[in-house]
Structure 1
Amino acid sequence: MPDSEETRLASGRREITDRDISLTFAKGMSVLKAFDAAQTHLTLPQIARATGLDRAIARRLVLTLVHLGYVKQDDRVFSLTPKILVLAGGFLQGRQFGKAIEPVMRSFSSQISEAISMAMIDGSQAVYVAHAGAKANSVSIGFTVGSKVPLLSSAIGRALVAACSCDVAQELIAHAPLEQYTDVTEMDRAAIAADIAETAKRGFAYVDGEFEAGVAAIAIPVRPDQAEPAAIGVSGDVSRFEDPAARQHIIDTLRECAKVVAGLL
């Protein structure tokens, strides 16, 4: 007997087609995504341009979000409200990032006097899901939970790709966006693939100045048994990683942290 619709949906074997999705909801999500670190306050024309939506449609969607409390309006300018954090709350609380994972990261952070961050894959980017032990002299770009960084030009991104299965890693290396962030950003996908393969082999990624000039980062893949891959890492002024003994101490500490975190995911 063929599988029922409910069985196919539950097993994840049914391909999702256009007729299965709400295009209006998808457009509403695109409005929310228009607000980012670089564009925190937007006018209606700016939202329409950022989303590629007709201005009348963009207006209805953003006003709906205002009505629901996720966006606020100040004259002709719109911005997100703290209520937007509720959308991520279920994911963060369900994985116990604040209750179980960040305390572990904090304990290891104190051993190396470096802030430790954790990221997971979101589409073709790495998104930070936990952060512990922040210091006043941490990386100038100011990562927080929810911040996104490129998969191919950051240490934590390459560690994430290295933690994926071979077919997924190949797909990400071939298609994830590449941008020239600094003068030394690697733009050769073959060279990036080789570095990710080396990351998987040695167990850590090291990137120096490719995402932000003068900033280096070390990241370790986290491979939980029954959850999507993650990565933890530290970043800061390149001078903090020049001493081989100090760098090895950071790597060893992150490896131990990754083992504990993997058991909590």
Structure 2
Amino acid sequence: MVDTDKKPAEFVEALAKGIAILEAFDAANPEMTLSEVARRVGLTPAAARRSLMTLETLGYIGRRDKRFHLRPKLIALGSGFYFTARIDEVLEGDLRALVDRFGDASSVSTLDGEHVIYVAHVSIQRARRAAAVPGARYPAYATSMGRILLAGQTDEKIDAYLKSYEPKKLTSKTCTNAKALRAEIMVARRDGYATTVDQLDYGITALAVPIRDADGTTVAALNTSGYTGMVTPDQLVKERLPALQEAASHIAHQLTRYPTLRSVLGG
């Protein structure tokens, strides 16, 4: 839920509760009972029930026996963002060009609180790994894009992030030490790129660069990734960094023509 201190006078609590319920469903929780929803969102069963009944009536949530699940109508909300922000015109062309040239996968994401949220993704990979579909959210500390996005923040915001968020081991190689993470973020700021190996999931080696607006503010990140064991961070930097930086520059230039996308990327 939203921090109470940051709520404007016009804040609609009931709407916030409904959105929190929608966000509570994920790959680990595709179906939940009323009590499970209430516990996961931090609501009373009565409050959760009212929101669930409203969302079910609107067609965003379905029910099988006593277990609730999301319904396809939610896709329409995401497609509205996709088309108004012109994702296909501004981002996907550069991603496809990178994948056509290097194979593997390429994505654009932006910072969403303590996570990165994927805005666009193109891939030729078929292996079962952490999903990188648009809308997927992952801890910023465990991704190359998250680290380069954090590198674009002020020192104060980086310190606040590391102080407030408790990293978890997602693999045996995931870095969870605040001091070490800060050092990695500072290296990314210095170098202008970030690399990770098996931080989010086994088998993912990635390289990310910032996408900056005309003022030099980092508004998004662009990455390229491959299979650990088939590609190393040094190889990604040597073989793909110039092309990745060129694509990021092209996307940044495109943002001046699409103010809606610039606005949503910049928060």
TM class, shorter-chain normalised? 0.7 to 0.9
Q: CA deviation at 1:93?
A: 2.3
Structure 2 contact 171–199 (Cα < 8 Å) conserved: yes
Which of 182, 189, 194 is the equivalent residue of 1:205? 194
Which SS does the other structure have where 1:152 is aligned? Answer: helix
How many angstroms does 1:250 deviate by? 1.8
Q: How far 1:59 sits from its partner (Å)? A: 1.1
1:115 aligns with 2:105: yes
SS in 1 for 2:230: helix
1:76 to 43, 62, 66: 66
Partner of 1:20: 10
AA matched with 2:172: D
**Pair 1:188-2:181 in alignment:** no
SS in structure 1 of the partner of residue 229 of structure 2? helix
Q: Does 2:236 correspond to 1:254?
A: no
**Could you say which residue in structure 1 is the equivalent of 2:118?**
128
Structure 1 spans left out of the alignment, 5+ residues: 1-14
1:101 corresponds to 2:91: yes
Letter in 2 for 1:189: A
Superposed, 1:1-265 pairs within 5 Å as 17=7, 19-137=9-127, 140-225=129-214, 229-242=219-232, 244-245=234-235, 247-265=237-255
Please state whether the residue corresponding to 2:130 is helix, strand or coil: coil
Q: CA 1:133 to 1:182, structure 2 compared with 1: closer, same or farther past 3 Å?
A: closer
**Aligned partners of 2:151 and 2:188 also within 8 Å:** yes
Structure 2 portions without partners, runs of 5+: 256-267
Please give the alpha-carbon distance, in whole angstroms, between the structure 2 residues aligned to 1:52 and 1:163: 32
Q: 1: CA distance between counterparts of 2:7 and 2:35?
A: 31
Q: CA deviation at 1:219?
A: 1.2
**1:52 deviation in Å?**
1.8
Question: What is the letter of the counterpart of residue 212 of structure 2?
Answer: R
1:76-97 deviations in Å (ceiling 9; x for gaps):
2211112212333343323211
Secondary structure in structure 1 of the residue aligned to 2:73: helix
Q: Is the 8 A contact 1:124 1:177 kept in 2?
A: no
Instruction: Decide whether aligned partners of structure 1 residues 115 and 214 sit closer, same or farther in structure 2, where only a CA change above 3 A counts.
Output: closer
Scaled by the length of structure 2, the TM-score of the pair is 0.85
Offset, 1:127: 0.6
* Contact 1:42–1:78, Cα closer than 8 Å, also in 2: yes
The separation in 2 between residues aligned to 1:91 and 1:176, in whole angstroms, is 28
| Greater mean deviation of Cα atoms: 81-90 or 165-174 | 165-174
More off after superposition, 198-207 vs 232-241: 232-241
Partners of 1:163 and 1:223 within 8 A in 2 = no
How many percent identity over aligned positions? 28
Q: CA RMSD in A?
A: 2.2
Q: 1:112·1:253 contact (CA, 8 Å) conserved in 2?
A: no
1:137-193 Cα shifts (integer Å, max 9, x gaps): 4x6122211111111122111011112344433332332341111222212212111
Distance in 1 between residues matched to 2:204 and 2:7, nearest whole Å: 43
Q: CA deviation at 1:25?
A: 1.2
Structure 1 pair 76–47 and aligned structure 2 pair: CA distance change class (3 A)? same
Query: Does the 8 Å CA contact 2:148/2:188 hold for their aligned counterparts?
Result: yes
Return 119-128 or 163-172, whichever deviates more. 163-172
